[in-house]
């Protein structure tokens, strides 16, 4: 990135709720500063102005669920120097990847009267299944602190500082008493990547896995612990099968508990 | 140029993916199609087999802009199913959470998405160069809305603290105090926003809408009330599907809603305001009157003023709730699942959001139905464009296209919600 011109930033949307790109607009205090440091070249949620590619940085939100999008992601990749996936949909397929465990032909008629009008793929897949991804930001939604950190790191030519350890470490640092040990509340914290700031235990509920699997998660051991707390297989399967259901470690664990 | 096509392939400053296609033949609008190509995500299908308690967190993911609305409608539907009423401070905290979402969502739409149209900018960042203090004020207002949601919900997008029956953890009186001073600033900023928006130029475009909104005997509606219209609809929430039908059309991944036998209707701030003006606070009423609005507003372009009035209301309501708050003994009312059908409808920033769930004795969801506000407004948006375009055919193509986009943005359409919606394409044959 040449110092003489501002890097061009583009935001792309695939199947998603818009929440992760909204995180950029939610950086209220930092928004105009970010907008000053980069050229916002393509961000339809915020602007009707579109600057032609190529782009220095592309933020990609959403998963691939239609034949058209499976093509479009290649165009985005070709036009982007650095491609960063933002959020559980882009990094793991999202909640809409629940279709991957069922037959799509049975699902569509449950919502639409004329399934023939609907063009959709059998599976919802993460961006990395289709193109090379340079960096990923986890979360449902992403953390805006991690988003600003990642943009700052890129602007300054350094590696973004986003941890891959578990939510447990954030709980300890925050001084939250372990909800699993102290209250017997089932929690996905031990196998879930940090980044949210260990929100749920601070609100006296168990973590439900928004940031997806941490590095080398021991999901089997956690299931045994849940079992001891009185969870039934259905509970364990459903817990692993939510916003990061198709992330490999969570997928395997949920399938192990399928009836 | 007798025949023209107006097309916008990817509508900007809306939430989600959609397009507009307008065909003009012999100076008449031959066809208007609002195409929603936002990919289908099939929420109603995969809710089947999940537990009742999972619905608030799962349905929140339909929309990152109004997750609180999804959480509220699903909670109310489940509580209706189990015969539980949430009252007292828990009910007040839910209203407070909704105030936060309205302030955040309305400020985003007024300042970042809609005002640039009126002032002739492509986006708020360009607008900020000439109107810096106004954009800063909008961002600050938005932040205060988000601060309410974050305090009560843990984070602004997909809050984690809402459950069927109430919350996981309720705040102490002391924890709510830091919101008071910012909210007093926000109340003044909202009043300034009403003045600012009242000074914009509006096209003369009054439509004879059927407005549909919740109406509650004692308050401006958030979570409860009867569904009423200005044309005779007055029904309980559970009767929704007897009166309103959803149609599946080829050009859209969002279902179109109509009132059976009458056709399209209008939900959102204009409907809410026109049906509930008497329930606004004295300051909100006075600000609306000073801005030149009557108790009913039929010009969709003026929805930007109505949003500002509602923001003012939400700030005052939030302050009232915080002042009167006493921490409840329990964070949630206990619920006991049973075989049942539950109905919920609450006022999302964009209008009524309806949920219905059928449950088995263990509280497992057998089937689900969700009707979001943008799906309900789709046909009205198309009908607005049919009336809007003919008088403006002499405009150059780029101007006409931009004005059509603006007419769509009047509805603050949330396409991510509705697919479960924008590209503009005007064809002149």
pLDDT in tens, B217-232: 999 999 999 999 999 9
Q: What is the mean pLDDT of residues B243-271?
A: 85
pLDDT score, position B255 = 74
Q: What is the mean pLDDT of residues A11-26?
A: 91
CB B154 to CB A22 under 8 A? no
> Taking the CA atoms of chain A, what radius of gyration do you get in angstroms?
19
Q: What is the mean pLDDT of residues B290-313?
A: 98
Q: Which of A26, A94, A96 sits opposite B156 (nearest CB)?
A: A26
Three-class secondary structure of residue A253 per DSSP: helix
Please tell me if residue A12 touches chain B, with a CB cutoff of 8 Å: no
CB A95 to CB B46 under 8 A? yes
For residue B341, count CB atoms less than 10 angstroms from its CB and return exposed for 0-12, middle for 13-18, buried for 19 or more. Answer: middle
pLDDT score, position B18 = 74
Give the Cβ contact number of residue B85 at 10 Å.
11
Nearest to B68 by CA among B360, B421, B420, B417: B417
Give the Cβ contact number of residue B46 at 10 Å.
24
Three-class secondary structure of residue A232 per DSSP: coil
CB B124 to CB A46 under 8 A? yes
Q: What is the mean pLDDT of residues B57-65?
A: 93
For residue A2, count CB atoms less than 10 angstroms from its CB and return exposed for 0-12, middle for 13-18, buried for 19 or more. Answer: exposed
- Residue A104 token pair: 């799509």
CB A96 to CB B123 under 8 A? no
pLDDT score, position B14 = 64
| Whether the predicted pLDDT of B32 surpasses 50 | yes
Alpha-carbon separation of residue B129 from A31, A80, B112 (angstroms): 14, 28, 13
* C-alpha distance from A9 to closest chain B C-alpha (Å): 14
Poorest-pLDDT segment among A40-44, B266-270, B348-352: A40-44
Asked if B157 contacts B64 with a C-beta cutoff of 8 angstroms, the reply is yes
Q: What band does B416 get if pLDDT is binned at 50, 70 and 90?
A: low
User: What CATH code is assigned to B4-428?
Assistant: 1.10.645.10
Q: Which of B44, B51, B112 sits opposite A111 (nearest CB)?
A: B44
Spatial separation of the C-alpha atoms in residues A177 and B382, rounded to whole Å: 54
Where is pLDDT greater, at B393 or A113? B393
Poorest-pLDDT segment among A49-53, B58-62, B101-105: A49-53
Q: What band does A43 get if pLDDT is binned at 50, 70 and 90?
A: confident
Poorest-pLDDT segment among A234-238, B305-309, B363-367, B398-402: B398-402
CB A238 to CB B142 under 8 A? no
Q: Kindly report, residue by residue over B314-323, the tens digit of the pLDDT.
A: 999 999 999 9
Question: Which of A21-30, A49-58, A174-183, B399-408 has the highest average model confidence (pLDDT)?
Answer: A174-183
What are the counts of helices (DSSP H) followed by strands (DSSP E) for chain B? 16, 14
Structural domains of chain A ordered from first start: 8-155 (3.40.50.700), 167-256 (no CATH)
CB A47 to CB B13 under 8 A? yes
Residue A25: its H or E element: helix A19-25
Q: Which of A23, A25, A243 sits opposite B108 (nearest CB)?
A: A25
pLDDT score, position B27 = 81
Q: Which of A21, A94, A107 sits opposite B45 (nearest CB)?
A: A107
Average pLDDT, chain A: 92
Q: Which of B12, B17, B157 sits opposite A141 (nearest CB)?
A: B157
pLDDT score, position B15 = 63
Average pLDDT, chain B: 91
CB A19 to CB B63 under 8 A? yes
* C-alpha distance from B18 to closest chain A C-alpha (Å): 11
| Whether the predicted pLDDT of B294 surpasses 60 | yes
Interface test with A, best of B15, B43, B46 (most A CBs within 10 A): B46
Residues 111-140 of A with CB under 8 A from B: 111-114, 117-118, 120, 140
Please name the residue of chain B whose CA is at the shortest distance from the CA of residue A43: B12
Interface test with B, best of A6, A11, A47, A121 (most B CBs within 10 A): A47
* C-alpha distance from B278 to closest chain A C-alpha (Å): 33
Q: Which of A25, A44, A102 sits opposite B112 (nearest CB)?
A: A25
Q: Kindly report, residue by residue over B137-150, the tens digit of the pLDDT.
A: 999 999 999 999 99
Spatial separation of the C-alpha atoms in residues A56 and A43, rounded to whole Å: 14
For residue B11, count CB atoms less than 10 angstroms from its CB and return exposed for 0-12, middle for 13-18, buried for 19 or more. Answer: buried
Q: Where are the alpha helices (DSSP H) in B108-201?
A: 115-119, 124-130, 132-153, 173-176, 180-198
Interface test with A, best of B61, B372, B415 (most A CBs within 10 A): B61
pLDDT score, position B419 = 47
Please tell me if residue A34 touches chain B, with a CB cutoff of 8 Å: no
Alpha-carbon separation of residue B354 from A149, B46, B375 (angstroms): 38, 18, 11
Q: What band does B249 get if pLDDT is binned at 50, 70 and 90?
A: confident
Q: What is the mean pLDDT of residues B192-221?
A: 97
| Whether the predicted pLDDT of B346 surpasses 70 | yes
pLDDT score, position B256 = 77
State whether the Cα torsion A120-A125-A127-A129 is positive or negative: negative
Spatial separation of the C-alpha atoms in residues A156 and A147, rounded to whole Å: 14
pLDDT score, position A1 = 47
Q: Kindly report, residue by residue over A112-160, the tens digit of the pLDDT.
A: 777 777 788 899 999 999 999 999 999 999 999 999 999 999 989 999 9
Three-class secondary structure of residue B179 per DSSP: helix
Please name the residue of chain A whose CA is at the shortest distance from the CA of residue B63: A17
Report chain B residues whose CB lies below 8 A from the CB of A75.
none
pLDDT score, position A2 = 46
Please tell me if residue A102 touches chain B, with a CB cutoff of 8 Å: yes
């Amino acid at each position: 990135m040449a110092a003489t011109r501002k890097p061009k930033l583009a935001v792309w949307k695939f199947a998603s709720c818009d929440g992760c790109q909204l995180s950029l607009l939610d950086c209220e205090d930092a928004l105009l500063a970010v907008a000053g440091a980069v050229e916002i070249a393509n961000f339809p949620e915020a602007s009707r102005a579109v600057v032609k590619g190529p782009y220095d940085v592309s933020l990609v939100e959403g998963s691939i669920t239609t034949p058209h999008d499976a093509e479009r992601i290649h165009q985005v990749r070709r036009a982007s120097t650095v491609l960063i996936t933002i959020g559980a949909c882009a990094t793991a397929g999202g909640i809409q990847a629940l279709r991957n465990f069922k037959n799509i032909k049975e699902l569509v008629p449950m919502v639409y009267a004329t399934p023939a009008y609907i063009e959709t793929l059998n599976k919802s897949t993460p961006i990395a299944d289709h193109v090379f991804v340079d960096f990923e930001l986890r979360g449902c939604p992403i953390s805006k602190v991690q988003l600003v950190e990642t943009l700052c790191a890129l602007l300054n030519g350094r590696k973004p500082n986003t941890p891959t350890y578990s939510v447990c470490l954030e709980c300890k640092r925050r001084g939250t008493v372990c909800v699993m040990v102290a209250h017997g509340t089932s929690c996905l914290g031990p196998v879930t990547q940090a980044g949210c700031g260990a929100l749920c235990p601070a609100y006296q509920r168990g973590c439900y896995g928004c940031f997806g699997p941490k590095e080398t998660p021991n999901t089997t051991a956690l299931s045994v612990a849940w079992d001891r707390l009185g969870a039934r297989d259905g509970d364990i399967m459903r817990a692993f099968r939510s916003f990061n259901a198709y992330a490999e470690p969570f997928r395997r664990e949920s399938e192990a508990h399928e009836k | 140029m007798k025949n023209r096509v107006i097309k916008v392939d990817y509508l900007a400053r809306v939430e989600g993916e959609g397009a507009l296609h307008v065909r003009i033949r012999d100076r008449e609008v031959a066809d208007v199609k609002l195409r929603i190509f936002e990919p289908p995500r099939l929420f109603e299908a995969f809710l089947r087999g999940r537990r009742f308690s999972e619905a608030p967190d799962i349905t929140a993911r339909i929309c990152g802009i109004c997750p609180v609305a999804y959480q509220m409608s699903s909670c109310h539907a489940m509580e209706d199913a189990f015969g539980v009423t949430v009252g007292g401070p828990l009910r007040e905290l839910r209203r407070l959470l909704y105030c936060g979402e309205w302030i955040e969502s309305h400020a985003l739409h007024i300042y970042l998405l809609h005002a640039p149209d009126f002032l002739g900018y492509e986006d708020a960042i360009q607008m900020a160069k000439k109107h810096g203090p106004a954009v800063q004020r909008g961002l600050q207002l938005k932040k205060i809305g988000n601060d309410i949601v974050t305090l009560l919900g843990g984070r602004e997008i997909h809050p984690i603290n809402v459950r069927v029956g109430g919350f996981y953890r309720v705040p102490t009186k002391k924890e709510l105090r830091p919101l008071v001073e910012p909210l007093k600033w926000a109340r003044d900023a909202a009043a300034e926003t009403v003045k600012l928006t009242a000074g914009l130029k509006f096209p003369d475009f009054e439509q004879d809408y059927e407005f549909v909104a919740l109406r509650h005997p004692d308050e401006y509606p958030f979570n409860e009330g009867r569904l009423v219209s200005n044309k005779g609809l007055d029904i309980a929430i559970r009767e929704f599907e007897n009166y309103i039908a959803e149609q599946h059309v080829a050009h859209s991944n969002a279902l179109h809603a109509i009132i059976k036998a009458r056709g399209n209707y209008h939900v959102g701030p204009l409907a809410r305001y026109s049906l509930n003006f008497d329930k606004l606070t004295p300051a909100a009423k006075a600000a609306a009157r000073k801005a030149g609005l009557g108790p009913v507003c039929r010009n969709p372009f003026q929805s930007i003023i109505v949003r500002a009035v509602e923001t003012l209301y939400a700030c005052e309501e939030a302050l009232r709730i915080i002042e009167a708050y006493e921490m409840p003994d329990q964070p949630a009312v206990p619920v006991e699942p049973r075989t049942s059908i539950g109905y919920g409808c609450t006022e999302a920033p964009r209008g009524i959001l309806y949920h219905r769930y059928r449950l088995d004795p263990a509280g497992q969801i057998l089937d689900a139905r969700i009707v979001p506000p943008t799906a309900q407004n789709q046909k009205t948006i198309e009908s607005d464009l049919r009336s809007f375009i003919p008088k403006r055919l002499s405009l150059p193509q780029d101007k006409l296209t931009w004005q059509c986009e603006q007419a769509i943005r009047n509805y603050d359409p949330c396409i991510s919600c509705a697919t479960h919606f924008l590209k503009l394409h005007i064809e002149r044959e």
